[in-house]
Amino acid sequence: MPRIVGRRNVHELYSPKSRVDVFPDADFRFLTHVAANIARAFAGVHQYGHVVGDVNHGNLLVGADGTVMLIDCDSFQIGTGTNAFTCDVGIPLFTAPELHGSTFRGLVRTTNHDCFGLAVLLFHLLYMGRHPFAGRYTGHGEMQIEKAISEYRFAYGPDRAANSMERPPNTIPLETMGSSIAQLFIKAFGRTGVNGTRPDAKTWVEALEKLKSSLRGCSWASRHHYPRELAACPWCAVEVQTGARLFGQRITPGGRTGAVDLATLWNAILSIPDPGADPALPSERPWHPPQGVEMPNVYKNFLLKVVTIGLWPMVSAEKRASIEKEYSETKMKWENTLDQWKRKASKEIFDKNLKALESIHVELVELPNEHRRQIAKLHAEREIRQRQQYLDRFRIDRAKIRGIGEGRSAMLASYGIETADDIQTVRIMRIPGFGEALTAELMQWRQGHERNFRFNPHEPVHQRDIDVVNREFEVRRQNLLLLLQRGPDVLRQLGQEINEARSRLMPMLEEAWTAFKIAKAHHEEL
């Protein structure tokens, strides 16, 4: 057998907290590459009539090149064509729903059973370590993952509300990876999958390769890649919501902008002439009907109504409807044209852009001071950071904590709680199924490790933490500078567009206002 060296458990790749340390160069492209390779490994086993059987995160090892190796192969179900040497073990979190409650000993499994466990592994990789059946149960009582699996309660599926499930907070929707990937997961985790229709390994390989080819880079963080059809980067949103890094260190997205004279740049922006004050609108000026247009005499018609009231109708129903329709249409046209003016021809548009550039300028001027404050904060918080780094060594899924088995450990991970440092009473109590007793057990375990922590006042701030701050500020500086450097061209173009819009829209406003005034007069005559 080949000797396995330089490889890590797949759990250390799909868990964001361990990924940034164990796979610091991994981006989302790497995760999709590994996911496809895992599917290839399963396809290879299935091709020869064998079944992995005991699918779990402990029998897959990943190399720095993204290749994977299967271990614990002695537990595979081996088929000889006439006989099957069964796999007599299994992990409930990766076991197909129809097998829950069954005895594994002597049970002949199928590749369709494997395909459920494969889909769970792939979901972990694509959805940042979350288990597909770990969600917030909105019904009564506790819903452990094992039970959710047996009852087909896919926490991210389209029928999750009907199953009284919600996906955990700070997670991405199923549709983030595109409709093709979403549909494969729905088929893998739905009730119809029991009939042998779960996507097989080869189908997953093809879909994952398509996903990888569709990824585009994020303009803010170089290790963020996401499907091209999405309007915005989902990883940036998760990082903002959680404060956690998902992929290694944040890297500068482009070349350095170098030294820039902010004063000169800002003076260049201020030198761009504005389009001038807004001209008076037709509704703000005295109005006279066009020559040849006779306007109704409202006072005369009112007296006529008083004299003839009760004798005969002044206006037929058909004419009344016509006048009301004309009034409604001309009013709508005036309001729509006025809205176009405000969006395209008002000086307010220019002023808003100038004000936004002014905020960017102020932020850039203040950025060095803010950077110094952040570095000083790192030094002031050395003890806090040393404690965090120490507590992060102790993973919940490797610990023996009373009442916390594999299912509850996976549930905690789905809520972003993986190590002793993550354990806080408020965070734990928000998780369904974790009451005071389990929270106390977790807090006691954390406090036990915390008592062994010793602050080293001579240990400097970790260079990695300083590098993170430096990189984040450099990314921020470059993006702000790019926006400011585009400022003169943006304002110049905007001024030209506003003047062109004024020339084009003012006659339309005049026409719409005149039509509305005439229609309004006839409407008031009714």
Give the rounded percent of residues in the chain with a pLDDT score beyond 70.
Answer: 94
Q: Is the Cβ–Cβ distance between 182 and 199 less than 8 Å? A: no
Q: What is the mean pLDDT of residues 421-433?
A: 92
Give every CB contact of residue 98 below 8 A, 6+ residues apart in sequence: 113, 194
pLDDT at 251: 39
pLDDT at 258 over 60: no
Q: Comparing C-alpha atoms, which of 56, 57, 53, 70 is closest to residue 114? A: 53
What distance in Å separates the CA atoms of residue 122 and residue 114, rounded to the nearest whole number? 12
Q: Is the Cβ–Cβ distance between 337 and 443 less than 8 Å? A: no
Q: C-alpha angle 518/287/515, rounded to 5°?
A: 25
Q: Over the stretch 321-365, which tens digit does the pLDDT of each residue have?
A: 998 999 999 999 999 999 999 999 999 999 999 999 999 999 999
What distance in Å separates the CA atoms of residue 98 and residue 267, rounded to the nearest whole number? 71
What distance in Å separates the CA atoms of residue 501 and residue 346, rounded to the nearest whole number? 9
Q: Is the Cβ–Cβ distance between 82 and 58 less than 8 Å? A: no
Tell me, what DSSP letter sits at residue 345?
T
Q: Is the Cβ–Cβ distance between 187 and 193 less than 8 Å? A: yes
What distance in Å separates the CA atoms of residue 494 and residue 465, rounded to the nearest whole number? 42
Q: Is the Cβ–Cβ distance between 297 and 497 less than 8 Å? A: no
What's the chain's Rg over C-alpha atoms? 33
What distance in Å separates the CA atoms of residue 474 and residue 254, rounded to the nearest whole number? 11
Q: Is the Cβ–Cβ distance between 167 and 135 less than 8 Å? A: yes
The neighbour count for residue 275, using CB atoms within 10 Å, is 21
Q: Over the stretch 434-449, which tens digit does the pLDDT of each residue have?
A: 999 999 999 999 999 9
Report residue 299's pLDDT band, with 50, 70 and 90 as the boundaries.
low
Report residue 300's pLDDT band, with 50, 70 and 90 as the boundaries.
low
For 95-213, strand residue ranges (E) read: 136-137, 165-166
- Checking 381-389 for CB contacts under 8 A at 24+ apart, the result is 382/455, 382/457, 382/459, 382/460, 382/461, 383/455, 385/461, 385/462, 385/465, 386/453, 386/455, 386/456, 386/459, 387/421, 387/450, 387/453, 387/455, 388/421, 389/462
What distance in Å separates the CA atoms of residue 165 and residue 173, rounded to the nearest whole number? 13
In angstroms, what CA-CA distances link 489 with 350, 359, 496? 12, 17, 11
Report residue 254's pLDDT band, with 50, 70 and 90 as the boundaries.
very low
Tell me, what DSSP letter sits at residue 90?
-
pLDDT at 250 over 50: no
Decide: pTM greater than 0.75. no
Q: What is the mean pLDDT of residues 502-523?
A: 93
What distance in Å separates the CA atoms of residue 375 and residue 373, rounded to the nearest whole number? 6
What distance in Å separates the CA atoms of residue 25 and residue 27, rounded to the nearest whole number? 7
Q: What is the mean pLDDT of residues 1-20?
A: 89
pLDDT at 257: 47
Report residue 252's pLDDT band, with 50, 70 and 90 as the boundaries.
very low
Q: Comparing C-alpha atoms, which of 224, 214, 212, 233 is closest to residue 253? A: 224
75-90 as b/e: b if 16+ CB within 10 A: ebbbeeeeebebbeeb
Q: Over the stretch 134-154, which tens digit does the pLDDT of each residue have?
A: 999 999 888 999 999 999 999
pLDDT at 127 over 60: yes
Q: Over the stretch 452-480, which tens digit does the pLDDT of each residue have?
A: 999 999 999 988 788 878 878 887 888 88
Q: Is the Cβ–Cβ distance between 235 and 247 less than 8 Å? A: yes
Q: Comparing C-alpha atoms, which of 139, 137, 51 is closest to residue 87? A: 51
Q: What is the mean pLDDT of residues 115-125?
A: 98
Q: What is the mean pLDDT of residues 303-321?
A: 64
Q: Over the stretch 235-247, which tens digit does the pLDDT of each residue have?
A: 988 887 887 788 8
Q: Comparing C-alpha atoms, which of 85, 502, 442, 509 is closest to residue 276? A: 502
Report residue 253's pLDDT band, with 50, 70 and 90 as the boundaries.
very low
What the block records as the tokens of 387 is 């404690």
